[in-house]
Every structure is written in C-alpha cells, then in structure tokens.
Structure 1
C-alpha cells in the first residue's frame, strides 16, 4: 500500500546532500588555500615552487607574473654568461702580446741599466750622428790629402813657372768645397779658365794641363764638386747635379770678382762638361764668359739595360746611396796608356767603387735635359771626343755640334781614342789644340 507522511525516508536523502555539499565546499576551500600558497611560494622562490610542483600530485598553475619574472631572470643570466665568455676570450688573445711587451720593456730597461753601470760616460743613442761624424772624418782626410799635394813639385815645375794655391769655398747650401788655382809666373796673365773635372775624379788630376795653360798666359781655377776630391759629401755620391751647376755659377762669380776685365772660359770633362753646358744655358752665365771647351761630354749616356731608365727614379728615392756590384773591378778602360790607368785607379782621391743609384740617375737626368735643349746653346765652343769611348757616346757630341745655335763652334773627333783624352798618349797634342783655340778667341777679342 501506498503510505504518506513517514519521516525517516525524507530525512536520509537531505542529510546525504548536505554532507556532500559540505565536502565539496571544503575541497574548494582547501584548493583555493593551496593555490594561494602556491602563488605566494612561486613569487618568492620560483625554483622551490617548481621542485614542489613537480613532486606534488596536484596540478601546478603558475600566474603570468611568476612566469614573466622567470623568463627575465633567465635572459639576464644568459647575457651575463655571454659577456664573461667574450671577456675571457679577449684576455686570452691579448695576454701573450701584453706579456711580450712587458718582457721587451724589462729587457730594454735592464740593458740600459747595465750600459750605464759599465760606462759612466755619456752614451750617444743617435746612429745618424755617429755616421755624420764618421763621414766628416773621411772628408777631412780627403781634404788634407788634396792640400798636401799642392806642396809637391813635378820635374817641369823646377823653374817655378806656376804658383799653385788652394781655397775653401762655401756654397749657399752650407757645403764646403775644395778649390785651387794655378797662376802663371813666367808670362803675363791674359785670360782665365775655370775647370770642371769628371765623375769620380778630382781637380788635382789636371795639374799638368793647368801648367800648360799657365805657359800660354791663362790663369786656371778648378773646383772639386760636391762628393768629390777634397769637398764635402759622401765620396762618389751626388744627390743632385743641379747643386754642382749652381756651385759652378757661384764659383764663377767669385773668380770674375777677383780678376776684373780678364776674359774667362769654362772647361769641362765628361760629366763636368755636362755641368758646364747646363750652366751656360742660363743667359746670365753665358754673357759672362767668352767660350767653353768640352772633352768627352756626357750628353748621351746609355743605361746598362732599358729597364734601368724606368726604375731609376724610384730607386733613387728609396735607396739613393745603394751601390750595385761593379762588373769591372779595375775600372772602365778610359785611356790607352797603361801607366795613366794605374795612376788613376790607385789614387785615393779617385772614387773607384760602383756608381751609386742616385748619382747614376742624376747623370741620366742631366743627359736627357741637354738632349732636349741642344738648340739653345749659343756660346762659342770647342768639343773633342774619342771615337772608341765606351763611357760617353760620341754621337751625343756630334748632335751637339749639329743642333747648337752657336755661330762659333768646332768639333774634333779622334779615331780610336778613349774617354780621358788629356790622359791619352797623345795628351800634349790634344792640349795644344785646346790652347790654340782659346788663344784664337783672345786674339779675336783683342782685335775687336
């Protein structure tokens, strides 16, 4: 039968529902409390929270703030580690150089201290000064030798026909040049000759020729140009032949000032002849003289190889004083007289070493300049050359005679003769030809 109003069946389900409700609320409350604890722990100790969460069976929920802070901390640590690694790498690279520098400085300091302990005197630390003093000593020795030679007498000077003197001439650049003069004593002076020697030699080699000029009434002046004989400069080295040209002009002014109203001639041999020619291209110099005499002039000089002309300007700047090994250790054959060759190449005042780079380039340069300006030569001249000359080309002499604008010009070519005409076996005949030409110019002037 169906019964209504009994109490026991209705209370039991409601009680169970309440119990379940309480358990759910309790679980939710505990879960919230656990979540709050996790959030607090994760914000203060992320690593501990991560360890606890991984070991707990409950699910782990990280807030956005905690996860962001963990990412930032990770990025800073990585950046700091990279910087430390980079600095370590730089120190590893730079440390050997630093150590080597310190070792070098320590060694230099120790060596300086040891030098000071060994030698209490002043230590010169500038090599250039030492080189300069050594060069000055070498110049002084050459100059002393040139001066002593003035006191020697040759057999033909027994009658005191000549008075030979020397003079020190200072250039505007500050260089000191050795000059000398030969004055006739037996005859009256009627003219002047200023003499320029050739490359690697000196003015004293022309003593015999100067006395021959004295016998004909010519007073002779000669100058050892820079780097030669008793003059300043490294022996056999010419930094610029323009220096020699300027020095000749200044020396000529001095000679003319000491001998007013006397006609003057210039004489030049080989490279000295090239210097004379370039000097007389100046109208002021050309107007002061009556004529020039040139023997074996360096107008056309061939380089040993075509490539030399190309690289010479470069090498003359980089290594101007460098000397290439000379193929002919005894010197080039410049005379057919064996005794003359022996005397020349045994003379300490004659430079017998290999030609220096800058000197060779300067010769090529002045030759090129003269070849481009031969038509500008207007001074009266006599040029002489041996056809077998192997030092300077006789064709250059022929070009000079053909292209010069001078109305008074003469040429003499000697078949089979070599470079040093005034030291050939026929030297006296050649000297007589020169003196006759000079004397004829004086006769023309006196008649005018």
Structure 2
C-alpha cells in the first residue's frame, strides 16, 4: 500500500505548506546546523508578522488594542450564535402535522465558564433506549448532525450535541482552540450534567475526527468511563503528523508566542471528505464551518492529543466501536485498526468501509453508517455485563 500523505485532521493540510519546501534529510549532521535552521525560521516568522506587532505602541494604544480585539471576538461570537440559533434542526412531521421529535437549543457553561452552544433532539413519544452525546470534528459544528439525530430519534435514542469553544455558536475566536484538554474537561462536565438529569438512562459518547480523539481521552478518565455504556468513533484523529519532523519541534514555541496566528499562505482548497458533491457544497458554504487557515495553537493541540493517544492505546478499557473509511486522506484508518488491536477493552468492534472518505455520516451511504452505529448501541445494551464480546465486522 502506498504511504498516505501525512495531514492534520480536519485542517485539510493547512498546517503543512509553510514547511513543505523543506527537504527531508536522512539525519541532522550537527547541532549547529539545526540551531541555525531554527533561528532562520524564527526570524522569518518575525518578518511576516504584522508590523504593528513588532513596533512598541504607546501606553494608550496598547490598552485599546486588546480591548478592540476582545470586542471583535465578542461580536463574532454573537453573530455565530445567531446563525446557530437559526440553523435548521430538521424536524419531521407526522401525517397529522405533529412533530416527531422535540428539539431545543441552550447554553452550557464549561469548566472555564465559557458559554458553549448545545442542541438536543428527543423523540416526541415513547420510552428512550438511551442517550447519545455528539462531539463534532475540528472546524465544524453540532448543527451538521441534525440528520443523524433524526435517525437516532427514530430508533428511540435521545441526542445532545455541544459546540466546542471557538466553534459554532460557542464562545471564542472562530477556529481557535486554546487547549483540547479544555474541550475534554468540558465534555466530562457536560456528561455529568446529563447523567444527573437522566440517571437511569444509558449514555453513549460519539466523536468524529478530532472529536473522536476528545471522546477517547475523556473516556480514559475512570469517573467519566463509569458514566458511559460505550463510545463511538468515526474517523478518529489518532495518527496525525506534520509533513516534516521540524514542524513538531517548533510547534510548541510558536504556539506560545503567536497562538492565534494563521498560516495565510497555506492551501485553502482542502481535501475531499465526502464522495457526495452536495454534502461537500453544503459543508464549505456553511458560515458556521471554519474554512480559514489553521491557527498555530489549534494545530499544536491536534498534534499533542494525537501523540498522547497513540502512546496510550493499550490503556483503553471502555467499550467502543470505531468506524473508518479506507480511502480517508485526512485521518489514518490504520490507526483505527491499531486502536482495535491494542485496546484492553473487553467489548470492542471495528468496521472499515471500503473506498469511503473522511466524513462517514455525509457519504452517500450515510443511512447505512447510522444504522451500523444504532445496531452497535443496541448490541451493547443487550449484552449487559457480558465480557469478551469482540468482533471484527
């Protein structure tokens, strides 16, 4: 099999082009050359920074500039929140005009008191089999999963979905994630709230791409694991590497110095994530989907959580179902296979879809993928406390 191009999950390679012209060397022949290279990158970066960042502003302008930036971010958040409120929740109706589901939007305050935008969809009638909490992928938002929520409702599952910080209708600069550990902590706090309100209802956690990495790390906390019947991961970001080793070396430094900086010279076209042209058009014309160049801190956080998870696959004990397309060019399906092989979980399943791309729930066969997820949750619920129930679909 040809080696896959190494890409950043959900960022469509936007972190890579800054360094793509650096030739791969078999070894660094001396520490001196390495340090000179780092120094040249640093000075180049200073040259491309806006001039007003390099100059020393007066005390009055220095005080005004951060306030102006905060106001701009707040205005952007309010605009996105209004768009999120107006996003279609896809409410089906019966023949007599009655709604098939009850839907709401609300705000949840995370561990750092950031307002996070939340959606929920619940069947209008009938007893719930369970609740599933959806974590979207990098750069997208929870509203994109409304069709999947409808499919879950039709099988008697209630649905919650939360926008991360900097995404959808939540607080923060669009596309900026100061720490994925904050997203992990917010996910844990949100799950605790849901279980407190629904103590007798089984709960599952679903994560796509980088959201899958967040779900897996959250479930590594024993307390959070106890709240869940299992997790479902589609195209999880488990093996994410830059195109050149030096990117990983300098990313922590630039992440501290200019965390919100965007690589404006990067490729903005992106990589196909679905074989459905209509789904691609809908995604990249959605104003709540971030399509700008990846921000430095966000890219570094993605590399960091991926590296952490790869080192700890054998410590995974929660029941899980991982799904991946074999033609995915954003995240690595072989990493999902490694998760299945190495995890210590007693109840685990994997399904690889031949020829499918990254966004499995937006492929032409999305209904089939959704049914596979529902079937797995029902299997998990019926299995109860049975152990050693592993299968390879």
TM bucket by the smaller chain?
0.7 to 0.9
CA distance in 2, matches of 1:132, 1:187: 46
Q: Which residue of 2 aligns with 1:26?
A: none
Q: Which residue of 2 aligns with 1:32?
A: none
| Aligned mate of 1:303, from 242, 265, 272 | 242
Q: Which residue of 1 aligns with 2:211?
A: 272
| Kept after mapping to 1: 8 A contact 2:91/2:101 | no
The aligned length equals 328
Describe the shift of the 1:329–1:441 C-alpha distance in structure 2 as closer, same or farther (beyond 3 A). Answer: same
CA distance in 1, matches of 2:265, 2:62: 35
Kindly state the Cα deviation for residue 264 of structure 1 after the two structures are TM-superposed. Answer: 0.5
1:357-398 per-residue CA deviation (whole Å, 9 max, x = no partner) reads: 110110100001001111111111100001111111111101
| Kept after mapping to 2: 8 A contact 1:187/1:216 | no
Q: Which residue of 1 aligns with 2:103?
A: 164
Describe the shift of the 1:380–1:125 C-alpha distance in structure 2 as closer, same or farther (beyond 3 A). Answer: closer
Describe the shift of the 1:405–1:152 C-alpha distance in structure 2 as closer, same or farther (beyond 3 A). Answer: closer
**1:138-157 correspondence runs (5 A):** 138-150=76-88, 153=91
| Kept after mapping to 1: 8 A contact 2:166/2:173 | yes
Kindly state the Cα deviation for residue 446 of structure 1 after the two structures are TM-superposed. Answer: 9.5
1:330-372 per-residue CA deviation (whole Å, 9 max, x = no partner) reads: 3321001111000000000000011111101101000010011
CA distance in 2, matches of 1:131, 1:268: 32
Describe the shift of the 1:358–1:444 C-alpha distance in structure 2 as closer, same or farther (beyond 3 A). Answer: same
Structure 1 runs not aligned, ≥5 long: 1-107, 113-122
Describe the shift of the 1:306–1:140 C-alpha distance in structure 2 as closer, same or farther (beyond 3 A). Answer: same
CA distance in 2, matches of 1:235, 1:254: 26
Describe the shift of the 1:395–1:326 C-alpha distance in structure 2 as closer, same or farther (beyond 3 A). Answer: farther
| Aligned mate of 1:396, from 331, 335, 338 | 335
1:87-124 per-residue CA deviation (whole Å, 9 max, x = no partner) reads: xxxxxxxxxxxxxxxxxxxxx9xxx9xxxxxxxxxx99
Bigger mean CA offset, 177-186 vs 398-407: 177-186
1:30-51 per-residue CA deviation (whole Å, 9 max, x = no partner) reads: xxxxxxxxxxxxxxxxxxxxxx
Q: Which residue of 1 aligns with 2:181?
A: 242
Q: Which residue of 1 aligns with 2:70?
A: 132
The question of 1:335 aligning with 2:274 is answered yes
| Kept after mapping to 1: 8 A contact 2:276/2:363 | yes
CA distance in 2, matches of 1:153, 1:203: 15
Higher helix share: 1
Greater relative contact order (CA < 8 Å, ≥ 6 in sequence): 2
CA distance in 1, matches of 2:350, 2:320: 8
Kindly state the Cα deviation for residue 285 of structure 1 after the two structures are TM-superposed. Answer: 0.7
The RMSD of aligned alpha carbons is 2.2
The question of 1:312 aligning with 2:254 is answered no
Q: Which residue of 2 aligns with 1:205?
A: 144
1:122-157 per-residue CA deviation (whole Å, 9 max, x = no partner) reads: x99521111111110110111111112256646899
| Kept after mapping to 2: 8 A contact 1:150/1:165 | no
CA distance in 2, matches of 1:144, 1:333: 29
